[in-house]
Amino acid sequence: MITLGIESTAHTFGIGIIKDKNVLANVKDSFTTESGGMIPSELTRHHEEINEKVIDDALKVAKIKITDIDLISYSNAPGFGGCLSVGQDVALKFSKKLNIPMVGVHHSVAHLEIGRMLFPKCKDPVLMYASGANTQIIAYEGKKYRVFGETLDQGIGNMIDSFARYIGLGFPGGPKIEELALKSKNYIELPYNVKGMDVNFGGILTNIKRKFDSKEYKVEDICFSLQETIFAMLVEVTERAMAHCDKDELLLGGGVACNKRLQEMCQIMCDERGAKCFVPPNTVLVDNGVMIAWLGRIMHDAGYKTDYDKLDYYPYQRTDDIDVFWR
C-alpha cells in the first residue's frame, strides 16, 4: 500500500511517499528569507505556488505515478490556518480525483510515531519535541500522548530565530547560531528559566538582546551561552519527565533537535541514567511529509478516515486532545 503524506503546517511544504514502512520519497520546499521572519500570508502563498512542483518531484523520486497512490494523509493541526488550508485542499483534490481515502493527522503526534517506526527498539519513548513553534516533552499515558512539560511562552526555535533576526542573520537562524556557538567556549551567565516541568524563553531573549546591544560581549560567546543555557533547561525537564513516567527511551523530534550540541547533551543525560537516546536523521527531524504519511497509514489501518463533510483543520489543537486509538 502506497501513502502520500502532505505537510504544510508552517514554513515547509513537504511530500512524503511511503510503501508500507519503506520511504520512497521525502521532498520539501521551505520558505526562507535573508532578513526578516515568517509572515503567515507569505507562507500560504509559498505553499500555493510550490505544491504542484513538490508533488511532481516526489513522484519522480519515488518512480511512481499519482494513480499508484492508495491513501492520502495531510497535517490538519496545529499550525497557521492559511498553510493548513492549502494542505487540506491538495489532499481533497487528489482524494476525489483518485477516489481514495484521506486522513487528517496531528503534526506533533506524527513526530513521535515516525520515531517508533524508524527505530523498532524505540517502543515507548519520551519525545523531546523542539521545533520553531513547539517545545514540548511528550509521553504516552492512558491512551493519549500527554504533554509533561512545555514552553510557557514561545517555542525554542522561534526564540533562537528571533535573536538571529535581531543580529541580522535571517531565517532560519538555528544553524547559523550553532556555527557561531562552535567558535566559543566562554560561558556568560544567563537567566535559567525552568518552572517545575515547564520552561520559558522570553526573559532570556531580552537579556541576550541587551548584551548584544551593549557591545561588551563577543557574539560567539552569546551564542555559545545561549545554546548551553536553553538546551540544559530542555534536558532538565526531559530527564524529570523520564523519571516521573519511569521510561528509559528518549526520542528527539523537531528542527532544533538537528543541533549537534543538543543531541550530545541528550546522549550524556541518557547514558547517565542508563536510557537509550534515538535521533532520527535531519530529514525526518524537521517538518516532513514522511511522518505525516506514516501516521495517516497507521490511523487508516486502525479503521479511520476523514469524511468529506467533516473536513476541517485545527490551528491550535493540542497534542493531548488526540485519542490514540491506533495504539
Query: Under rule CB under 5 A, which residues in 51-70 are in contact with Fe ion?
Result: none
Instruction: Name the one range near Fe ion by CB under 5 A: 52-60, 97-105, 128-136, 266-274.
Output: 128-136
* 3-class SS of residue 59: helix
User: Is 41 within 8 Å of 26 (Cβ atoms)?
Assistant: no
Identify which of residues 162 and 207 has a Cβ nearer to ligand ATP in the complex. 162
The least distance separating ligand ATP from the CB of residue 261, rounded to whole angstroms, comes to: 8
Identify which of residues 117 and 230 has a Cβ nearer to ligand ATP in the complex. 230
Choice from 7, 29, 239, 287 touching Fe ion (CB under 5 A)? 287
User: Is 86 within 8 Å of 70 (Cβ atoms)?
Assistant: no
User: Is 277 within 8 Å of 121 (Cβ atoms)?
Assistant: no
**Separation of alpha carbons 208 and 19, rounded Å:** 47
User: Is 159 within 8 Å of 171 (Cβ atoms)?
Assistant: no
User: Is 134 within 8 Å of 126 (Cβ atoms)?
Assistant: no
The least distance separating Fe ion from the CB of residue 185, rounded to whole angstroms, comes to: 31
Identify which of residues 74 and 224 has a Cβ nearer to Fe ion in the complex. 74
The least distance separating ligand ATP from the CB of residue 245, rounded to whole angstroms, comes to: 22
Contacting residues toward ligand ATP, per CB under 6 A: 9-12, 79, 107, 131-134, 155, 157, 160-161, 172-175, 178, 254-256, 258-259, 286-287
Q: Among 58, 45, 49, which Cα is nearest to 5's?
A: 58
The least distance separating ligand ATP from the CB of residue 106, rounded to whole angstroms, comes to: 11
Name which of Fe ion, ligand ATP, none residue 11 binds, using a CB cut-off of 5 to 8 Å depending on partner kind. Answer: ligand ATP
Identify which of residues 173 and 280 has a Cβ nearer to ligand ATP in the complex. 173
CA 10 to chain centre: 10
**Binding string, residues 236-275; x marks residues near Fe ion by CB under 5 A:** ----------------------------------------
Please report the DSSP string for 25-37 in residue order. EEEEEE--BSSS-
User: Is 226 within 8 Å of 204 (Cβ atoms)?
Assistant: yes
29: contact with Fe ion by CB under 5 A:
no
Identify which of residues 95 and 319 has a Cβ nearer to ligand ATP in the complex. 319
Identify which of residues 40 and 123 has a Cβ nearer to ligand ATP in the complex. 40
CA 262 to chain centre: 15
Phi and psi for 207 in degrees, rounded to 5? -60, -45
C-alpha grid cell, residue 1? 500500500
Identify which of residues 54 and 258 has a Cβ nearer to ligand ATP in the complex. 258
The least distance separating Fe ion from the CB of residue 78, rounded to whole angstroms, comes to: 10
Q: DSSP code of 187?
A: P
Other CB atoms within a 10 A radius of the CB of residue 317 amount to 17
Identify which of residues 113 and 161 has a Cβ nearer to ligand ATP in the complex. 161
The least distance separating Fe ion from the CB of residue 111, rounded to whole angstroms, comes to: 6
131: contact with Fe ion by CB under 5 A:
yes
The least distance separating ligand ATP from the CB of residue 131, rounded to whole angstroms, comes to: 3
Q: Among 27, 178, 3, which Cα is nearest to 105's?
A: 3
C-alpha grid cell, residue 252? 528527539
The least distance separating ligand ATP from the CB of residue 100, rounded to whole angstroms, comes to: 26
Q: Residue 134: in which H helix or E strand, if any?
A: none
Q: Which residues bind Fe ion (CB under 5 A)?
A: 131, 287
